[in-house]
Amino acid sequence: MGDLKLPEINYGALSPMLILFGAACLGVLLEAVLPRGRRHGVQLTLALASLVAALAAVILTRNTRVVTIGGAVAIDGPTVFLWGSILLLGVVSMLLIGERAVEAGGAFVSQAAITVGSDKDLKQAGGQPGATEVYPLTIFSIGGMLLFVAANDLLTMFVALEVLSLPLYLLCALARRRRLLSQEAALKYFLLGSYASAFFLFGVALIYGFAGAVDLASIHAAVADPQRNEVLLFGGLALVAIGLLFKGAAAPFHVWTPDVYQGAPTPITALMAACTKVAAFGALLRILYVAFDGVRWDFQPVLGVIAILTMLIGAVLAVTQTDMKRLLAYSSIANAGYLLVGVLALNKEGLSSTMFYLVAYGFSVLAAFGIVSLVRDAEGEATHLSRWAGLGRKSPLYAGVFSFIMLAFAGIPLTSGFTSKFAVFGAAIDGGQTWLVIVGVITSMVLAFPYLRVIVMMWLSEPGESTPTVSIPGFLTSAALVIGVIVTLALGVIPAPLLDLTNDAAQFVR
């Protein structure tokens, strides 16, 4: 045993993840020792501080390019960029999660284990402070996302997938209002999510049989071998891709998205729409670009069909929706299709434009869900579309902000929606994927209809008896909204700095 060789660990490069996981463990501990009244402030401060500290660590180690812990984690340009974006989006969603001024006690239930509708439940509905476990859970989940985009072998990727998913399943079940819907969303997300990760795992097993190892470099080498076993290779790749496309909400693996987005507490929906999307597409980019680059002609048409399906289903079904959160869910499915178009360009521009799109979309969607969490009546959030009629007359400021975000989703120039769509479509044309771009442009036009319908409804209808009021946001939600809107505008007017940044970062290590 004397010659046992330990893998080298570059703690500096891993520090963002270590900070987050450390803070999450500390948060669990604090949950046990702090008196109930002080938990919210302390946990929120700890969560925000750890995200900012991790972001600072990413910025300090931004020039590190290293594969560490025995080849399990690769820190390269895309990793550092995606870490930075996940952490920034994480800070903004944490602001939404920590908001308590809009609803007494916050958006989360105080004790999730209490049976819905029982006497105790009615008692806790009256404004008892919400559970503070959500902060460590969110930090665990964001830590898992960081590991997910940096994973350099399929085992690490599987573990990271579970670390990011398991807290999300629980968070979905913690809504204060409409608890049955929330629990149902959690059940659906959990069952379908673990189904998809079982497919992912069997794919890992097949690829291990194919390549004899699970690290991406060995898989790349095995793919280049002309004597390869194609059954194991393509079977494994298909199953692994199912697991990743599920997390990214691409059709036909999208069915959970509208239900879960509608049922989950709105701040958690925002977290899923922004951060989970970055993580899922980051991992998909790494697998396709690093490991399976050698069979790009084989998977490109298949994933192209999936991209087209995703865009069509997202756009067409968004038109028929009557609930604001479901509408945003279908819009997020369509956006997953546009992201896939960028991924399938399979060139450097494809990589950089997809990363740009992820950041631009993330900030807009956070602002959109921020507004959704403010439009309320006595029952809680009023998410039915008809209730939004005439909102522009009642609260022009928030209706204006929401209209701006809708225009950004529709891809109007001078918003980030335009520049990011332009970037991914341009990259796809360079990559010879004109057929995807044609479908992309057509579905964008279809998708503009539901967005514009919302705007028309808010501004041109008379406010009715049932038009809800917009709650005055507390400091945290206001900050999240301001950041979301400023980034959406800034990336539309001056996209060059971020585009340069993504271009510099678009180089995987192998």
Task: Provide φ and ψ at 376, rounded to 5°.
Answer: -135, 160
Burial letters 480-498, b for 16+ CB under 10 A, else e:
bbebbbebbebbbeebeeb
> Residue 148 or 190: which CB sits closer to another protein?
190
> Residue 208 or 459: which CB sits closer to another protein?
208
Identify the residue among 10, 26, 184, 347 touching another protein (CB under 8 A): 184
> Residue 45 or 111: which CB sits closer to another protein?
111
* Stretch of 95-103, 184-192, 296-304, 473-481 lying at the interface with another protein (CB under 8 A): 184-192
Helix residue ranges per DSSP H, 2-35: 11-33
Radius of gyration of the chain (CA): 22
- Termini Cα distance of the chain: 31
> Residue 102 or 280: which CB sits closer to another protein?
280
- In the region spanning residues 204 to 223, those forming contacts with another protein, defined by CB under 8 A, are 204-206, 208-209, 212-214
Identify the residue among 125, 199, 220, 429 touching another protein (CB under 8 A): 199
- In the region spanning residues 117 to 136, those forming contacts with another protein, defined by CB under 8 A, are 117
Identify the residue among 147, 201, 270, 341 touching another protein (CB under 8 A): 201
* Stretch of 48-56, 168-176, 219-227, 409-417 lying at the interface with another protein (CB under 8 A): 168-176
- Looking at residue 2, the DSSP 8-state letter turns out to be T
Assign 352 to helix, strand or coil: helix
Consecutive H or E run containing 5: none
> Residue 112 or 485: which CB sits closer to another protein?
112
Task: Provide φ and ψ at 47, rounded to 5°.
Answer: -65, -50
* Stretch of 61-69, 155-163, 397-405, 459-467 lying at the interface with another protein (CB under 8 A): 155-163
Identify the residue among 25, 49, 116, 496 touching another protein (CB under 8 A): 116
Q: How far is Cα 510 from Cα 278, in angstroms, rounded to an integer? A: 21
Decide: residue 264, CB within 10 A, 0-12 exposed, 13-18 middle, 19+ buried: buried
Amino acid identity, position 31: E
How many helices (DSSP H) and strands (DSSP E) are in the chain? 21, 5
Identify the residue among 104, 180, 472, 486 touching another protein (CB under 8 A): 180
Q: How far is Cα 402 from Cα 385, in angstroms, rounded to an integer? A: 13
- In the region spanning residues 227 to 286, those forming contacts with another protein, defined by CB under 8 A, are 258-259, 262-263
| Cα diameter, the chain | 81
CB 54 to another protein: min, Å: 23
| CA neighbours closer than 13 Å in the CB half-sphere of residue 125 | 14
Identify the residue among 25, 49, 60, 191 touching another protein (CB under 8 A): 191
Quick one: which of 77, 74, 56 has its CA closest to 66?
74
> Residue 239 or 470: which CB sits closer to another protein?
239
Residue count at the site for another protein (CB under 8 A)? 43
Identify the residue among 56, 66, 125, 155 touching another protein (CB under 8 A): 155
Identify the residue among 67, 186, 273, 447 touching another protein (CB under 8 A): 186
CB 201 to another protein: min, Å: 4
The answer to whether residue 144 forms part of the interface with another protein (CB under 8 A) is no
What strands, in cross-sheet order, belong to the sheet with 469-470?
380-381, 375-377, 469-470
CB 46 to another protein: min, Å: 23
CB 177 to another protein: min, Å: 13
Amino acid identity, position 362: G
DSSP string for residues in 125-160: HTTPPPPSTHHHHHHHHHHHHHHHHHB-BHHHHHHH
> Residue 45 or 194: which CB sits closer to another protein?
194
Assign 96 to helix, strand or coil: helix
Assign 75 to helix, strand or coil: strand
CB 303 to another protein: min, Å: 22
* Residues forming the site for another protein (CB under 8 A): 112-113, 115-117, 155, 158-159, 162, 166, 169-170, 173, 180-181, 183-188, 190-191, 194-195, 198-199, 201-202, 204-206, 208-209, 212-214, 258-259, 262-263, 322, 326
